[in-house]
Structure 1
Amino acid sequence: MTTNQDEFVDTSSDGRSASPAPSMYSFSSSVDGRTMLREAYGRILNNQNDTYFLPADNEEHRRLDLQHQIITLALGSLYPAPNLVRRALAPRPGKTAAILDVGTGSGSWAIDMAKQFPHCSVVGVDLAPPRVDGDLPPNCRFEIDDANLGFSHYRESFDVIHARSVSAGIRDFPQFLEELAQALRPGGVVLLGDGEMQLYDEWQEPLAYSTQGSSDFSWLHSVFFAGYNAMKSRGGSVDSPSMNPTWLRNIDAFTDVGWHKVYIPLGPWRCGDERELLLAEMLREDCLRYIAGLGPYLLSEGYFPESVEMMTREAATELRELRVRFHTRWSFAWAVKK
């Protein structure tokens, strides 16, 4: 079975499906899902949540597929805290372990987890239909939901909950974490991961903002800064990656909180080993696609189209020609439900 962005349907009168651990919409191959999408500023966006304004089209899903490969290579696994995850998902007589992927995007992580843990049930939820080529694993399904609405319908339904790159679409991240805690079964693990909008220099120190004309001005940094402000303006929790460990510790339901940071060069500007060079090259390509996708955010904040075109073009040139030596930092956090 091949799924695409035209195959989702509301199957219940109250807006949530009748499937186990139901979300808002369940997969259906017979109904047009374009009502969940809209065209704006030259891209296809979700039609459920005005906070999250990155595209939801096939081009963006291909970028998310690439990002998934980058993170998997950087971690050496599909997930951080592997011992905790494997313990939570270990087969048990009379029980089917369950995994929830919040903000599933293209669905890559959910599908890979379904393949790695065939005895588990995997549910991926997002604001828009995923792009899935080929047959889905029989233990994997996708549903449409807005995490800002809460997860009371998922109470104690999952053993692992994964939420990656969702901060721009979450309005109240501490409350979101409370909801995830309620959706976990005792002993379950929550996994968080997000790339920061803050860029870092070649020594992995945070870059200070500089204005055009200064000696250290960068168009790439300027675009990231503009994107950060646009996401904040729309209500996104873009500062959450660095705050997640603290917020997790503040929730009584959680224990064994951990945190891991990964710095990746933004392009192959230094001599590293083969793995680092591959990561850097892949991340450069991901970033080129990412800054192209920031257009709706910037245009919706009042930037003129010609300004957005110029900013993103110059930023892309810096990346392609390795004019800047920057790192990005990915922050991962996890916790176990008591």
Structure 2
Amino acid sequence: MLRLENPSSFTLPRSMPFTRRLQDHDSDSDDESTASLPPFSPPPSTRGSRTSYDVSMRSASPTPSVWSMTSSIRAQAFKQEYGRELNNYSEVYRLPADDEELDRLNKQHDMFVELMGKYPPCLPEIMRDDVPGETKACLDLGCGSGAWIMGLAREFPQSLAVAVDLVPMQSLTMPDNCRSEVDDINLGLEHFYGDFNVVHARLISSGIKNYVNLIDQMSRVLRPAGLIHVMEFDFHVWDHMPDGNHRRCDLSTSQIAEPWVGRWMVYASLAVRNAGGHPDAATHLHRWIASHPLLENVVYHDYWIPVSPHPIFNDFQKHVGAQMRDDILSFLKSGRPLLLGSGVPEHIVDELQGNAERELRSAARPQYIRVQSVYARKKTT
């Protein structure tokens, strides 16, 4: 588990070449991407379905979840597909929820903390136990391994931390002030309205059918002056450009050829869209949040994370690039159920994955993953 730093230290590390900061008068001008139709026949889309989730299984706020990881609960919560363990409730989110994936997410969390810091600078003040009669509360949507929310629960032990995901959080060291709830957030967050000082979501766009509606729901769970913090990536690889205006690697599925990591991402993006997710959400996060009538003081960052330790990068970039390389190598394995379930033939998945692994391990291309982060405060009036 990540060792927490001094809560008064929230400055970015020596990573400023990776990041850009915009205030709420700026906007992201990227257009939503389009790609050619895939050379395969995906199964019927599930994007119009309500998923197989039983709404009655929710834990109504503020009643704690009654989930425990018994064998019967595990059998109900998980299903086996293509050699991996996936959630059994949503047909939209198609990435695994097994131990191998949780290990990837824990390591990814550590990388993000090193690169970006733990929280937006205003979070410690918001979560401080300084309002008589009010318990500060934080909601983490799509909590994954729980590393982020459990870290916050330990740092603010007088607060309430609620972790929501499609499967029960499986940590044996969950703090007493943190609880896990099983829910499909596509069904709405009305049962949480007005309950939280902070709401957080990170890299969940592949499982979200309507991201604009999710942002509206998140704004409504907040108390006045509460903090919304959302972070996503755009399912693209970006080619390094010396002037810093990195070029998106726009590819199609009409051919199977290099660059391989970028090609694999195109297939993953289309598979997410086929399942009903929103792979382009990152491109529009800033505009959606800046235009929301309940939110203000919007701050935007983008982070250019090297996909490998290419020789042209400086030492810190190489260090982060090695971490991101390992994360993507694991992500290629995690993405097999996503691609195979979308109808991509197994021999194509094998070719894409094998070549992408070789490209990453050889650090053949100076490329980036772009992660976009937006935080804002809820208006008080």
**Who is 2:176 aligned against?**
138
Contact 1:61 1:131 in 2 (8 A): no
The answer as to 2:192 corresponding to 1:154 is yes
- Confirm or deny: 8 A CA contact 2:57 2:182 kept in the other structure: no
What do residues 261-310 of structure 1 show as CA deviations (whole Å, max 9, x unaligned)?
00011111035454332211111000000011111111112122122112
1:263 matched to 2:304: yes
> What number of residue pairs does the alignment pair up?
319
Correspondence for 1:107: 146
Going from structure 1 to structure 2, the CA distance change for 1:316 and 1:213 (only over 3 Å counts) comes to: closer
* C-alpha distance in 1 between matches for 2:230 and 2:204: 9
User: Is 1:332 equivalent to 2:373 in the alignment?
Assistant: yes
Tell me the amino acid that sits aligned with residue 249 of structure 1.
A
CA distance in 2, matches of 1:26, 1:334: 32
Structure 2 unaligned spans of 5+: 1-53
1:162-211: CA deviations, max 9, x gaps? 00011010000011111111111111000001122111112222112166
CA distance in 2 between partners of 1:167 and 1:66 (Å):
20
Q: How many Å apart are 1:249 and its aligned residue?
A: 2.1
1:231 aligns with 2:269: no
Query: Residues 22 and 153 of structure 1 are in contact (CA less than 8 Å); yes or no, is this contact kept in structure 2?
Result: no
User: Matched residues in 2 for 1:29 and 1:301: separation?
Assistant: 30
Pair 1:182–1:329, CA change in 2 (3 A): same
- Separation in 1, partners of 2:93, 2:154: 29
For the residue of structure 1 that corresponds to 2:164, the secondary structure is strand
Where 2:349 maps in the other structure, the secondary structure is helix
1:276 and 2:317 matched: yes
Per-residue CA distance 1:123-149 (angstroms, 9 max, x = gap): 1110112332x4221111111111101
User: Which of 41, 46, 51 is matched with 2:87 structurally?
Assistant: 46
Structure 1 vs Structure 2 CA RMSD: 2.0
Q: Distance in 2 between matches of 1:163 and 1:55?
A: 18
* 1:299 equivalent in structure 2: 340
Using a 3 Å threshold, how does the CA distance of structure 1 residues 116 and 213 change in structure 2: closer, same or farther? Answer: closer
- The amino acid that maps onto 2:197 is D
Output one character per residue of 1:310-336: Cα deviation in whole Å (capped at 9) or x when no partner.
Answer: 210111011011122211111001111
Q: Which of 208, 224, 240 pairs up with 2:250? A: 208
Query: Cα offset for 1:49?
Result: 0.8
Identity %: 30
> How far does the alpha carbon of each residue in 1:74-98 deviate from its partner, in whole angstroms, 9 at most, with x for none?
10x212x312x12321222221100
Note if contact 1:157-1:183 (Cα within 8 Å) is conserved in structure 2.
Answer: yes
* Alignment gaps of 5+ in structure 1: 1-11
Structure 1 length normalisation: TM-score? 0.89
Alignment-derived partner of residue 32 in structure 1: 73
User: What CA distance in whole angstroms lies between the structure 2 residues aligned with 1:285 and 1:320?
Assistant: 9
Contact 1:27 1:141 in 2 (8 A): no
Q: Does 271-280 or 250-259 show the bigger shift?
A: 271-280
* 2:219 corresponds to: 181
The structure with higher relative contact order (CA 8 Å, sep 6+) is 2
**Deviation string for 1:232-282 (max 9, x for gaps)?**
111111111120111112221111111100001111103545433221111
Shift of 1:13: 9.6
Structure 1 residue 16: deviation in Å? 2.5
Deviation at 1:22? 4.6
Structure 1's 196 and 22: CA in aligned 2 closer, same or farther, altered over 3 A? farther
